């Protein structure tokens, strides 16, 4: 996880998460083949003035459930 705090957050906050299309495709393929995969998700948090207060990159892990 990598986090950068850009400025103080004021008022109501909103967040936006993005995954690159090629990263999403790789994730789905790997999850289907190996039943587990990791994906990097980029997140931005905005303050009431629409200025970026935080930027972060998270690596999320998923594992299929056996039935």
Torsion of CA 30, 33, 36, 38, to 10 degrees: 0
Question: In terms of Cα–Cα distance, which of 29, 17, 14, 11 is closest to 57?
Answer: 17
Report the DSSP pairing between strands 2-5 and 52-63: antiparallel
Residues 6+ apart with CB under 8 A from 2: 56, 57
CATH assignment of 2-63?
A: 3.10.129.10
Instruction: State pLDDT tens for residues 5-61.
Output: 999 988 999 999 999 999 999 999 999 999 999 999 999 999 999 999 999 999 999
Domain ranges of the chain: 2-63
| pTM above threshold 0.95 | no
């Amino acid at each position: 996880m990598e986090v950068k705090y850009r400025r103080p957050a004021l008022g109501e906050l909103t967040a936006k998460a993005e995954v690159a299309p090629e990263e999403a495709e790789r994730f789905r393929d790997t999850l289907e083949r190996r039943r587990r995969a990791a994906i990097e998700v980029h997140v931005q948090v905005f303050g009431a003035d629409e200025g970026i207060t935080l930027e972060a990159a998270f690596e999320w892990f998923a594992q299929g459930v056996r039935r």
